[in-house]
Amino acid sequence: MAKLDAKRILLVHPLGYDSERAKDDISRLANIMPPIGILSIAAWLEQHGYIVDIIDCYAHPDSDALIADSLRNNRPAWIGFSCTTSAFLDGVRLARMAKNVLPEISTLFGGVHVSSMKERAVEEFPDVDIAIMGEGEETMLELLEAGPDADADTLSKISGLVHRMPDGKGNDTGRRKGMDLDRLPFPAYEKLVGYPENYALPIFNYPQHPSTSCIASRGCPYSCSYCDRSVFGADYRSNSPEYIYNHMKHLKEQFGIRHINFYDDQFTFQTKRVDDLCKLLIDKPLDMTFNCAVRANHVKETTLRLMKQAGCWMVSLGIETGDEDLLKQHRKKSELGDLADKIRVMSKIGLRVKGLLMIGLPGETEQTVKRTMDYVFSLPLDDMNLTKFTPFPGSPLYRDITAAKGALGEFDERWEKMDCMNIVFVPNGLTRDRMEELFSEFYKRHFTRPRVIWGYTSMLWRSPHSWIRFLSNLPSFLRFAFSDNRFKEDKS
C-alpha cells in the first residue's frame, strides 16, 4: 500500500446535519457563502508548496462518497475540518469515516467551536487528533512542516494548537499572535466546485450577480456578552485599502463577481481606512457594488456618503433588541435613540438598511420583545434578520448561563441545534412555545408592512436575480414566512 502524501491535505466544510434536510433548509436556500477561512488557509499552504483539496459539504450536501473517493485517490496525510458549533459533531463523524478509509491519516479541527473548547476537543473526541486554536494559517503551515509523525515534544513547540499527550490529556500550546493580513494571498476561491454559480448572498441583499463574500479584517475590540471572539480575539487587524481594492479587482477579473458582501465583524471600525478605500473605488471604478456591517457609533455621515458614492448598496447594523434596559445588560454604547438617528441618516443617503436582531437574551420578556417590535417598526429599515439567541461556547453569556445552573433560564446544550435557528435557551418567565409564537409574529408583522412589501417589490428591477431565486424556492419561503409550525423542533 502506498504511503500517505505528507505534502497533501484535504480541507472539508461540514454540512452539520442530515443531507436530506438540505433541500428544504431555508437558511441554506437563502444564503450559501464560500468558506473563507479554509480558502485562506488553502491559498497560504499552496503558496508554501503544499497541495490542497477542498470539499464544501454545505454547498454540495451528501458529499460523504466524494470525501471517501478523494481520500482513496489522493491519499493525503492530513484532513482538516472547519466547524461551527452546530457542525462540529458532523465533522467528528466525517473524521471517523476518514480514519476508516485511511487509518493513518491525521485529523485537524479548526474554527470557533474548538477554539472555545480547547483541551476538551481532543480529550472527549478521540477522532480529533489536533485542534487549531484561533487564526489558522501560520499554525497549519508549521504543523504540516513538522510532519504527520511529529511527536508530542515537537507539537508542544508549535503555538496555536491543542494536541493529545501520551496520557490522553490535551496540551494547549498557547495563543498565536495574529499575522499581518496583507501577507496573505487572496483566498483560493477557484478550489470550490461550481464557484461562483453555486454560491449566493442572502436573497434581496445584492443588486447584481454573481455575488460573493470576503473578509477584510479580523478581530473585534468590543466585548458584547453574546459574542464568541475565541478565533480572532479583541486584536483588531485589517487589510490595507490597496489590498482590498486589488482583492475586489481579482474577484471581478477572475470570476466575474459584480457584488461583494464584506463579512467583517467591524468593517468600518477604522474610518480612515474605509474613506481611503472608497476614494480608490471612486477614482478607479470597478463597476462593482458592496455591502458591509457598520457600528453606528463610529461611522460618520461623511464616511457613509463616500461609501454610497463608491458603490455601497446596503449596510447592516446590530440592533439586537429595542429594549434599552435589556441592551445595557449585554452591550456597551447602547443608546437606541442615537442608533435610530443614524439609521435615518443612512436611509436618507439612499443606502439600503438591514437590522440584525435576536430574541431570547437572558432578561428577555414578552414585554421586551413587544418593545423591540415597536422600535424596529418605527425605523426606516428595509430588511431585518431575526435570530434566536444561542449561548455559544466562548461567549461570556455561555459561561454565565452554565454557571447559573438554571437561574437565568433553561439551556438545552445540544450542539447540533445551536445554529441561531433553534431555541436552545429559554429565559425565565417565557416558554419555548411562546417564544416561537413571538418569533413568528415578529416576522409576520415585518413581511406585511407596506414599506417592506414595496421594498421587496422594487427588487424586481433592483435585484432581479433575487426574485428568480425567490420564485424558484417559493414554497419553502412561504412556509418560513407564514407557517406557525415551521419552527417546531425535531425532538429526536
The CATH number for 111's domain is 3.40.50.280
Q: Please indicate, yes or no, if residue 162 is contained in any of the structural domains.
A: yes
What DSSP letter does each residue of 389-436 carry, written as one string? ----TTSHHHHHHHHHTTSSEEE---GGG-SSSS--EEETT--HHHHH
Q: Please indicate, yes or no, if residue 192 is contained in any of the structural domains.
A: no
239 and 371 inside one domain: yes
116 and 236 inside one domain: no
- What percentage of the chain reaches a pLDDT higher than 90? 82
- Mean pLDDT over 121-143 rounds to 97
Q: Please indicate, yes or no, if residue 487 is contained in any of the structural domains.
A: no
| Cα(33)–Cα(476) distance, integer angstroms | 19
Q: Which residue has the cell 422600535?
A: 375
Predicted local confidence at residue 473, as pLDDT: 80
154 and 231 inside one domain: no
Q: Write down the mean pLDDT value for the chain.
A: 93
Q: Please indicate, yes or no, if residue 363 is contained in any of the structural domains.
A: yes
Beta strands in 199-332, from DSSP E residues, in sequence order: 211-214, 217-218, 237-238, 259-262, 289-294, 312-320
Predicted local confidence at residue 159, as pLDDT: 97
126 and 221 inside one domain: no
Q: Please indicate, yes or no, if residue 156 is contained in any of the structural domains.
A: yes
Last residue of a domain, one of 172, 187, 215: 172
Residue 482 confidence class, pLDDT cut points 50, 70, 90: low
333 and 401 inside one domain: yes
Inform me whether the pLDDT recorded for 492 exceeds 50.
no
- Mean pLDDT over 246-263 rounds to 98
Going by the DSSP 8-state scheme, the letter that residue 201 receives in this structure is P
Inform me whether the pLDDT recorded for 487 exceeds 50.
no
Inform me whether the pLDDT recorded for 462 exceeds 90.
yes
117 and 239 inside one domain: no
CATH number at residue 227: 3.80.30.20
132 and 244 inside one domain: no
248 and 354 inside one domain: yes
Q: Three cell numbers at 114?
A: 474548538
Q: Please indicate, yes or no, if residue 488 is contained in any of the structural domains.
A: no
364-398 pLDDT, tens digit per residue, is 999 999 999 999 999 999 999 999 999 999 999 99
Going by the DSSP 8-state scheme, the letter that residue 32 receives in this structure is B
Predicted local confidence at residue 18, as pLDDT: 84
420 and 275 inside one domain: yes
Inform me whether the pLDDT recorded for 221 exceeds 90.
no
302-321 pLDDT, tens digit per residue, is 999 999 999 999 999 999 99
329-358 pLDDT, tens digit per residue, is 998 776 899 999 999 999 999 999 999 999
Predicted local confidence at residue 476, as pLDDT: 72
32-70 pLDDT, tens digit per residue, is 999 999 999 999 999 999 999 999 999 999 899 999 999
| Cα(278)–Cα(151) distance, integer angstroms | 49
Q: Please indicate, yes or no, if residue 207 is contained in any of the structural domains.
A: yes
Last residue of a domain, one of 154, 172, 190: 172
231 and 378 inside one domain: yes
209 and 346 inside one domain: yes
Q: Which domain holds residue 112?
A: 5-172
Q: Please indicate, yes or no, if residue 183 is contained in any of the structural domains.
A: no
| Cα(359)–Cα(453) distance, integer angstroms | 23
Predicted local confidence at residue 472, as pLDDT: 84
The tally of domains found in the chain comes to 2
pTM above 0.75, yes or no: yes
316 and 442 inside one domain: yes
